[in-house]
Structure 1
Amino acid sequence: MRALLEHMVKAIVDHPEDIRIEEVTEGQTLRLQLYVHREDIGKVIGKQGRTAKAIRTILYAAPSSYKRVQLDIME
């Protein structure tokens, strides 16, 4: 899951070296915290959150051993 998220985000940001992903497991939930460069926040979120929604949709559709996957986008 982490590699999939990293691959998607690296393709759209200007500072791919600043991407950091932390995984937190809370029971049956996997929470992915995505940290990107301050200038790349808008690119990851997109207009009206469309890019973030698309990333989340792909993560939810990917096979996983968790019942729920959450994505938090941080600075």
Structure 2
Amino acid sequence: MMRRIIEGLPLDHRLLLTGLLPGYVHDHGGLVPGYRLAELRRLGDITERARKAHDAPDFSRRIREGVPGWS
């Protein structure tokens, strides 16, 4: 799947170990540019936003607020 998203991605054990995949993809420019991986992880944590919007009709939009790459 990742090779379809990032053409020419070299084979690496991190493609199989999902906990390491975000770092590998980030290293190869496959995530939102201009952010460190730790910052993307922090901004992508929707836990608190989901708690606050748990029964809102626009739940899907609200949990993505502030996540880079989502409008």
TM over 0.5: no
Higher relative contact order, structure no. (Cα contacts within 8 Å, ≥ 6 residues apart): 1
* Higher gyration radius (CA): 2
Higher strand share: 1
